[in-house]
Amino acid sequence: MLKKLLVFVAVVLFVAPLSSADWALDFEWGLGHDGEVISSGVPGLEFTTTAGYDWVYGDITTNGYNTHSIDMGYGSGQYDMYGYVFAWLGPNAGQGKISFLNGDGGYFETRYCALYDFYLEAYDINNNLLDSDVGPGNLYEVNTMGTLRVESAGNDIAYVLMHDSGNFWEIDNISGDATGVSDPGNPIPEPGTLLLLGTGLLGLGAFLRRK
């Protein structure tokens, strides 16, 4: 019993933290928060724009969006998305920015839906362009979101910019490997929390051994 407990502690302390290198976020934690600002709601990321507007949650359960998802949109359905919630710039329809607070991204990927060609650009902390990708407009393409990806072998992506030619667009299901990022709907325990848990389990093991 004691050996099994010690093995579990080792996994918690050493394996679990390593498993969080890559992350994927689907914005579903924003369900019920239609129109609320995303900027400070994701650990490790900052959502801003170049025009001073805010990223917001788009919750299709409000029937306020003309989307193709899970038959819960309304009207003809123009924009594609996954799940119930996506991210967009509201009335801005301009250039969105997502910053990695640790500035160490190796890649970033996003799904998108836009009327015209959609652009994704990756920059380092000195505003040097590292990589870019572009996809065609895909409005009205039912159940088909486009995918864009940027990479840097130096793991130095500090932020990404995305935009089309000034029309409404939205993104969903983003992923990357910048450190410190976690899903607000399913947060990863901090190293300090894991250490505290491990110490407690070791103490419990010592107590059981004495017993």
When pLDDT is cut at 50, 70 and 90, the band that residue 5 belongs to is very low
Q: What is the C-alpha to C-alpha distance for residues 168 and 203, in angstroms, rounded to an integer?
A: 56
How many C-beta atoms lie closer than 10 Å to residue 88's C-beta?
22
Contact criterion met (CB below 8 Å) for 182 and 188: yes
What is the maximum alpha-carbon separation in the chain?
71
Number of domains the chain is built from: 1
With respect to residue 98, please indicate whether it lies within any of the assigned structural domains.
Answer: yes
**CATH code: domain of residue 42:** 2.60.120
pLDDT exceeds 90 at position 67: no
User: What confidence score (pLDDT) does residue 84 get?
Assistant: 92
When pLDDT is cut at 50, 70 and 90, the band that residue 73 belongs to is low
Q: What is the C-alpha to C-alpha distance for residues 143 and 90, in angstroms, rounded to an integer?
A: 22
DSSP 88-136: E-TT--S-EEEEETT--BSEEEEEEEESS-EEEEEE-TT--EEEEEEE-
Residue among 79, 74, 81, 33 nearest 56 (CA):
33
Range of the domain at 113: 23-179
What is the percent of the chain with per-residue pLDDT over 70, rounded to a whole number?
A: 74
With respect to residue 151, please indicate whether it lies within any of the assigned structural domains.
Answer: yes
Q: pTM, whole model, 2 decimals?
A: 0.78
User: What confidence score (pLDDT) does residue 143 get?
Assistant: 81
When pLDDT is cut at 50, 70 and 90, the band that residue 142 belongs to is confident
> What is the overall mean pLDDT for the chain?
81
With respect to residue 202, please indicate whether it lies within any of the assigned structural domains.
Answer: no
User: What confidence score (pLDDT) does residue 210 get?
Assistant: 62
With respect to residue 68, please indicate whether it lies within any of the assigned structural domains.
Answer: yes
